[in-house]
A and B are shown apart, each in its own frame.
Chain A
Amino acid sequence: MVHRYLPMTEQDKKDMLATIGVESVDELFSDIPESVRFQGLYDIKEAKSESALLKELKQLAAKNKDTESNVSFLGAGIYNHYKPVIVDHVISRSEFYTAYTPYQPEISQGELQAIFEFQTMIAELTGMDLANSSMYDGGTSLAEAGMLAAGHTRRKKLLVSDAIHPEYRDVVATYAYGQSIEIVAVPTNNGVTDIEKLKELIDDNTAAVMVQYPNFFGQIEDLQLIGDITHEAKGLFIVSSNPLALGILTPPGKLGADITVGDAQVFGIPESFGGPYCGYFATTTKLMRKVPGRLVGETVDQDGRRGYVLTLQAREQHIRREKATSNICSNQALLALAASVAMTALGKTGVQEMAKQNIVKTRYAKDAFEAAGFDVPFQGAHFNEIVVKTNKSVTEINKQLIQDGIIGGFDLGTVYPELQNHVLIAVTELRTKEEIDALVEKMGAYNA
């Protein structure tokens, strides 16, 4: 078969078979027992030429309503943000994307240094001592934090705020089940974690308290208070945080967090229908040797030149096998690179300006909704999301909005029974005044 990815010619094949000393390629498969040998060809679609396949895929892609040709107010953990154009140019350099884990540091200094810089930027934003090279996503990173806490404290209970992303909570529950760890939900009050309930629920078997900052409703939790309560009970304080918000908010590391996790999707990574994203995991020096995943450290070569290596590998699965702190092998290196480039492009002032624009534009949206007669039930400090109460079903309203080219907010009733007819509206720096006004106007019309 002749194919552009298969360079062997018939003559090559002949010569190689002669070197091996067999008559045919089939002989090389003679160790596969006849009874399990697959006969013939897979029943899958026929191959297509490059141009024909691209045409087909473009048609498939065109069936989707994307956030480029529509105006999106959908967030709930994944956001439509400014992506500096340079990001895609950097991550398209194939020295990065066609490499694997940097096992050979002498020819992987580029990747290793990029990760070292990523670790530094995440540590800076979160205010933690250190960060790892990335995790699959924010949800699994939170779950790994919970597992670490249970192992470290030798306690078997996680207190999980209801104001954490529902899908993150689901993932934590699945991991916890595997490790026989109990999950206790901490209810909310007025859109933030209920402090009184937390005090009642926390006990001396609590491995960790988990909250989100800003939380799933866009509200900003009082980390200092929750951290103090957690530490009084000698548990670990785990914060899942949007790192963009940390451009402005006091970082969890300054408010008592032992582990801060989250997703760096907000930095230059497209929504991509759920992934790949870029989980991050940041913690204290005290917990350094229990961190899951890869860590890159600085060292020197034989001539004293600065260089970078994968380090503290005694934690990891390929050395520790069944005693490893986690089974994670791969990280999200390419996305960590994307996030690094975006964080670099934004830089010290840009990340503040962008974070502030999110708050200010969301504030504008909140005022506009209230002026149009909508109830905004949670009145605490917010980042880039607010909850708006509707009269009609959110799904129905959203079905009408999409006709106007607007992707509506997240229907909270689907996961919070007490929040039927409540929609979570995300307003990023990309939304214009005109777009926000249009949303409020249309929603007003469809809500009537």
Chain B
Amino acid sequence: MSANATPTDRLARFALSPARRRKDRFARASVLAGTAIALVPLALIVYYLLRKGLGAWSPSFFTTDPTGNTFFGGSSIGGIKSAILGTIEIVALASAIAVPIGIGVAVWLVEYGKSSWFAQTVRFFVDVLTGVPSIVFGLFVYIVLVVGTGSTYAGYKGSIALALLMLPVVIRSAEVILLLVPAALRESALALGAPRWRVIFNIVLPTALPGMVTGVLLAVARAAGETAPLLFTAAATLKTNFNLGGFMNSLPVQIYKDVTSPTTAVVNRAWGAALTLVVMILLLNLIARLISRRSRLA
């Protein structure tokens, strides 16, 4: 009999039992279904943003300030000019604060602190900062800069709240990149007689630059979408304002205020503003990805 067995019969001894095969199929199908479920909300959000947002877009949408008028439909409610400019101003100042400090701390961690107890403590506290909810940063800035100075809201106070939020992201991403700079490069420069600071400024930082730009752009993208820290630091206003010492509007706050409105036209403005904000953030992400692809480190 065994002589009659074809190769297929002999192989059949190694075949899976139907139960195990079914289990495998079922598990793989479930994993695939889970992945599909994860992508559904993305598709829905993109679809609705485009459908509702593009409907709200018009040239005047970007060139007029919101009027504060929420009771009449149509164009009288105004656009989102002050919100776009406010977001750009606040985020630009936040980056100007967070990037030098963040990269400075990262350089210290990698070049000087290394694995000393003090450096470990700083790393721990930076991790703590990462986990702090953004609204708590808003409270902090409110306590120190609004209550503390007895004054009121201002654009630059919003920037400081966002800068606190960006700091841990900038520090951690810059540290990871700086660690990737080959030790041989530093040692060659030191062996040629370069002092430490020149090694840092002329060798380490330029090598790490593209990678650090990626981290910074991701931090900026994250900060640009934040609403909570701005609510009681920069507040909201209608007019375009180029003075960071005054009240300032921003896209997330504008959207938040418009969401709660009973007027359809105002809600539509929120969709248009949301699409604008998402496009700005995606552009930053895209640029970050392109730069990181061209970087030689990582």
Q: Are A and B bound to each other?
A: no
Identify the A interface with B (CB < 8 A).
Answer: none
